[in-house]
């Protein structure tokens, strides 16, 4: 990964390698998730990009028919 420094305006720059690896674009939104002393930045994915991403997934054994009622 890479190290970042918090600026006087409390801003950080995401290292180029990380941006490339995750395919981040300028203006893209990130969610900030805090757990204890750890900060996670999670990219928001538009619903239009999620269409069909589970196609072909095996759903057998996930839930019994009785549980769906």
pLDDT score of 48? 84
Q: Is the pLDDT of residue 64 over 80?
A: no
Read off the pLDDT of residues 18-62 as tens digits, 9 standing for 90 and up. 999 988 999 999 999 999 999 999 988 878 878 887 888 887 776
The pTM for the full model equals 0.60
SS3 32: strand
What six digits make up the tokens of 55? 């196609």
């Amino acid at each position: 990964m890479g190290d970042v420094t918090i600026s006087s305006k409390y801003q950080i720059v995401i290292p180029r390698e990380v941006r490339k690896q995750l395919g981040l674009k300028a203006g893209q939104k990130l969610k900030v998730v805090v757990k204890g002393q750890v900060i996670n930045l999670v990219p928001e994915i538009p619903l239009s990009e999620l269409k069909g991403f589970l196609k072909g997934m095996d759903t057998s054994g996930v839930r019994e028919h009785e549980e769906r009622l």
